[in-house]
A and B are shown apart, each in its own frame.
Chain A
Amino acid sequence: MRRLVWRAARLVETRDETGTARTLVFHVPGWPGHLPGQHVDVRLTADDGYSTQRSYSLAAPADGDRIELTVERVPDGEVSPYLTEVLRPGDEVELRGPVGGWFVWRPGGTAPVLLVAGGSGIVPLMAMVRARRREGSTAPFRLLYAVRDPARRYYEAELGRPDPGLGVSYLYTRTSPDGWARPPGRITLDDLAAGGWPAKLEPDCYVCGPTGFVEAAADLLLALGHEPGRVRTERFGPTGG
């Protein structure tokens, strides 16, 4: 492995995913490539030398020296409002990575995969969905995506397009679309039983979201008989931003 160094990353493009989340496409000369699920540290330094950093998951496979992050704006956050509201194409930040070797999916895998996302926890899981498509993987994927209300869905159009071997279901925790059969509420055993894979198929499970969501979903997966070693989790903090 190479030494981890801070690199200059120039913003080349942005896409708004929701009213509060924006995808940032950066050009990072010399980017070494990454696995879906890995993240980067982003560092901002003020004119007076004050510096602060945050971790963000990579949202897509690398396209040469171009990488994508999706950042949720945290009210009163220190970094995310700058990244989502102030930073313009042509501006630079410092970035290091990729880091993380545990919460990753390796595109050569053939085991069924269950992705369970809570809110902005979709980001590293979307990188897995996109890597699967790009590599032409035949590993069957199911995605359960829990969001507060329909307007909070990231990547809505892309996840709505046919992607053979990928099943997508949404869970709404506060407000459902009109006519939606499932009443709004937290993720349940039935949700995971209906939208996931039976434990006997030995799927690799990836759960990402806020800490409380991850704890709940991981406990439910174990209750359904999934092996603890096949349930990988990543928690997004309540703090930070």
Chain B
Amino acid sequence: MNDDYLDGNALAGPLREIFAVDVTAAVGHCAGCGLTGPVASLRVYGPAPGLVARCPGCEDVVLRLVRGPGEVWLDLRGTVSLRIPVAEAPPA
């Protein structure tokens, strides 16, 4: 791979379009090598035809996101899990 990439911070807008919380601060688990780290630290290639996020450890594709007219395709097959920080609701 070349070094013509951005990082997972660039996914913040596209992911906030579909998720209710910020996913770039989530800890992802790579299906290729088992590395865990924030989505913000992924290597992101794009923008056309879509954003491809690769593991900084093994460079396997962890996430792909393609924005089309009226829909977003999100391919997470390279991700074992995402641990997503959420704000706890204050006690009633």
Is the pair A102, B40 in contact by a Cβ cutoff of 8 Å?
Answer: yes
Is the pair A101, B5 in contact by a Cβ cutoff of 8 Å?
Answer: no
> Taking CB as reference atom, which chain A residue is nearest B17?
A4
B3 neighbours in A (Cβ, 8 Å):
211-212, 215
User: Which of B7-15, B58-66, B75-83 is the contact stretch?
Assistant: B7-15
B38 beta carbon closer than 8 Å to chain A: yes
Whole-angstrom CA separation of A88 from B31 in the bound complex? 48
8 Å CB contact of B10 from A55, A96, A238: A55
Residue interface mask B3-29, A partner, CB < 8 A = 1: 111111110110011001110110000
Whole-angstrom CA separation of A236 from B40 in the bound complex? 13
Whole-angstrom CA separation of A39 from B22 in the bound complex? 12
Whole-angstrom CA separation of A55 from B38 in the bound complex? 19
Is the pair A101, B25 in contact by a Cβ cutoff of 8 Å?
Answer: yes
Known: A1-B22, A102-B25. A237 touches B16 (CB 8 A): no
Of the listed residues B3, B7, B21, the one surrounded by the most CB atoms of chain A closer than 10 A to its CB is: B7
Main secondary structure of the interface of B (DSSP, over half): mixed
A237 neighbours in B (Cβ, 8 Å):
4-6, 10
Whole-angstrom CA separation of A103 from B40 in the bound complex? 8
Is the pair B9, A100 in contact by a Cβ cutoff of 8 Å?
Answer: yes
Mind listing 24 A-B residue pairs with CB under 8 Å?
A1-B20, A4-B13, A39-B13, A96-B13, A100-B12, A100-B22, A100-B24, A100-B40, A101-B21, A101-B22, A101-B85, A102-B24, A102-B39, A102-B40, A103-B9, A211-B5, A211-B6, A215-B3, A234-B7, A234-B9, A234-B40, A236-B6, A237-B6, A239-B4
B-contacting residues of A (Cβ < 8 Å)? Answer: 1, 4, 39-41, 55, 96-97, 99-103, 211-212, 215, 232-239
5 nearest A-B residue pairs (beta carbon): A101-B22, A99-B12, A102-B40, A100-B12, A101-B25
